[in-house]
Amino acid sequence: MASEPEVTAAKTRETLNDYLARWAGQDEERTATADTLLRMCDAAAEIARQIGWGPLGGPLAEEVGGENAAGDTQKTLDVTANELLLDALREAPVAYYASEESEQIQTLDPAAPVSVAVDPLDGSSNIELNVSVGSIFSIFPTVPGGAESSLFRPGREQLAAGYFVYGPHTSLIITLGEGTDHYVLDPKTLQFRLVERGVQIPRETKEFAINASNYREWYPPIRSFVDDLLEGEQGPRGKKFNMRWVASLVAEVHRIMMRGGVFLYPNDQRRGYQNGRLRLVYEAAPMAFLVEQAGGGATDGTERILDKVPSDLHQRVPLVIGSLTKVERVAKYYTDPSFERTQSPLFAERGLFQR
């Protein structure tokens, strides 16, 4: 029987533990941030282990009764991931913990220097399909005034943000406000090892991601943008584009990190979607921080996500995120009349995705 292959190259790659020790130095806030990140890494390694068992580990995709605090159907693994992260952060210097799975912000240690917001398991609708899911997190400095003052603030004030993606391997994409880095979980040591320092999102790509089944509900700017892409070489863009859709924000953004593109989850005319669907505090803001640090952009269509100030833990927001040129172009469809498409009256209510 063949022995397990030794991945010798991994042994030479710096661990996140070593990097954070050097980065934090003697600074109290940085040390608290580093300790908090490493606790979340421990929880993520356990989440990855449980996901790796799939159905052998039990009914991970089973609905556990109703909706979570954010209004989404709650699965077994949603609850498990939240419990693992919360338990890990109880041992970290964290004042307040905000989660998609909780109605209210939880107080852990109000004197602690940092506060954390998380989506414990993004993309849980894909659990039973063996498609990548992930955990998103955001770290803010704790400030006087309590939980809301610490977490309801512009995303540009984040100390750190990142996501874990649980797929064929477990990756961590992270920013400390000094660029975006890519780490991978070493399955032997359970430490995250550096793959790439200073990830840069390509400015020009041929991929976009949107749920085309909602075409009939989109507002004109998004319809026009997608219509122009789909016309390919004969359209105003003069080239072919590929459309993607995974229904997992982590998976969509990870693809953008690796090879560029743009992801759109706009507001639309459906009931409950007028203000978008993704949550600002623990989904859009941390992803926007990561993407901007990698040279990309993130808006609600026109306004920069990192300038938006939340007023509610589960506040929703439209999101356009990815390669900077693509995000900027989408904004022009909202603001520049020359980007409007004039439809023939005969086909005014029809589009490529309608019959």
- Catalytic residue status for 186: no
- Catalytic residue status for 122: yes
Burial 227-250, CB ≥16 within 10 A → b, else e? bbbbeeeeeebeeebeeeebebbb
In the prediction, which pLDDT does 130 show?
85
Considering the candidates 84, 121, 264, 280, report the single residue annotated as catalytic.
Answer: 121
In the prediction, which pLDDT does 353 show?
45
Tens place of pLDDT for every residue, the chain, 355 residues?
Answer: 444 555 556 778 999 999 999 999 999 999 999 999 999 999 999 999 999 988 887 776 677 655 566 566 788 889 999 999 999 999 999 999 999 999 999 999 999 999 999 999 999 888 888 889 999 999 999 999 999 999 999 999 999 999 999 999 999 999 999 999 999 999 999 999 999 999 999 988 899 999 999 999 999 999 999 999 999 988 888 899 999 999 899 999 999 999 999 999 999 999 999 999 999 999 999 999 999 999 999 999 999 999 999 999 999 999 999 999 999 999 999 999 988 876 544 344 434 444 3
Query: Measured between alpha carbons, how far apart are the two ends of the chain, in Å?
Result: 57
In the prediction, which pLDDT does 1 show?
46
Considering the candidates 181, 186, 207, 283, report the single residue annotated as catalytic.
Answer: 283
In the prediction, which pLDDT does 314 show?
97
Determine phi and psi for 105, rounding to 5 degrees: -70, 135
- Catalytic residue status for 84: no
Considering the candidates 29, 42, 46, 72, report the single residue annotated as catalytic.
Answer: 72
The annotated binding site is made up of 100, 119, 121-125, 211, 283
**Cα–Cα distance measured from residue 170 to residue 20, given in angstroms and rounded to the nearest whole number:** 19
- Catalytic residue status for 204: no
Considering the candidates 35, 78, 207, 227, report the single residue annotated as catalytic.
Answer: 78
Sheet strand arrangement including 160-166: 106-107, 94-99, 114-122, 133-141, 160-166, 170-175, 180-185, 192-196
- Catalytic residue status for 119: yes
- Catalytic residue status for 100: yes
The annotated binding site for substrate is made up of 122-125, 211
- Catalytic residue status for 283: yes
Instruction: Quote the pTM value.
Output: 0.91
CA dist 126 → 122, 131, 167, 263 (Å): 9, 6, 11, 18
- Catalytic residue status for 268: no
DSSP letters for 306-345 = GG---SSTT-EE-EEEESHHHHHHHHHHHH-GGG-----G
What domains can you pick out in the chain, each with its CATH number? 8-196 (3.30.540.10), 207-347 (3.40.190.80)
Element (H, E) at 192: strand 192-196
